Each structure stands twice: as C-alpha cells, then as structure tokens.
Amino acid sequence: MTGKHVRVRVRLDPIDCGELMAFVASPSAGASVLFIGTVRDHSEGRTGVTHLEYEAYAERVEGVIMTIVEEAGDHWDVLGVAVDHRTGVVNLGEVSVAVAVSSAHRSQAFEAARYIIDELKIRAPIWKKEFWSGGTEWARGS
C-alpha cells in the first residue's frame, strides 16, 4: 500500500469512529465505509454477557493486521485504511474493533473492509474472554 494513507492501532483506549473516518478521508474518495464491532449481550447460546476482555500478542499483532491491510490494498483500489482494535476490558455496547476504508467507488471500499475484518478475526493474535452472569470463558476463534 505504498503511497496510501494507512494506520493500524491496537489500544486500551476507547475507539473514536469519527477520528477513523477523518483519517481515511480523501478528496479523491467517492465512498468511505466504516465497520464497527461492538460487545453484545449474548454469545453462543449464553445470555447476560456483561463485558469482554481482549489480550493480544503485542510484538506481532499490528504487523499481522498491517499485512492483511496490504493484501486488501493489493486487491482493491483503496485510498485510505484505518484499523483500531481494543485490548483490555470492553464493556457491553462499546466498540471493540473498527475498520474504516475509503475508495473512489463503494464496491471497492465495502469489499476491502469486509476482507480486512474477516481476515483479522482469523489471523490476528488477539484473544477474547467472555464474562457473563454465570461465569467466564475464553471464546473460540472465528
């Protein structure tokens, strides 16, 4: 993605989706797409989920996500990409991950964003522990 506007961050702080959209904004963009993943109140037959706790392999995670972003840039004509993923405790309703993509055309932005989040869920060394009213458990990967 040489010459493109790209950023990947894994962070404890809350994600500002407006800031991600501003980061990928471009006068050449005809479309910008924002995917946000939030903590929901149920998971795999369980209700009463209160929060999640994310851990990441700090030395590798941003590099793995950047590789995924570069793959998307090689396949789709994107102008900007920003990916933020939380670590630590993320409460019910809060944003745990966000992917913003800009492109000249909407199909390119949608497809690139979908690829990035799908591959991130499979390949990024990030693990989540679910907390619900009846206990806790490490969640299975995608």
Report yes or no on 136 lying in a domain: no
Report yes or no on 138 lying in a domain: no
Domain count of the chain? 1
Report yes or no on 139 lying in a domain: no
> What's the rounded Cα separation, in Å, for the pair 142 and 78?
25
Report yes or no on 106 lying in a domain: yes
CATH of the domain at 102: 3.90.1170.40
11-64 pLDDT per residue, tens:
999 999 999 999 999 999 999 999 999 999 998 878 999 999 999 999 999 999
Residue-range definition of the domain harbouring residue 108: 5-129
Report yes or no on 134 lying in a domain: no
77-117 pLDDT per residue, tens:
999 999 999 999 999 999 999 999 999 999 999 999 999 99
Report yes or no on 140 lying in a domain: no
Report yes or no on 81 lying in a domain: yes
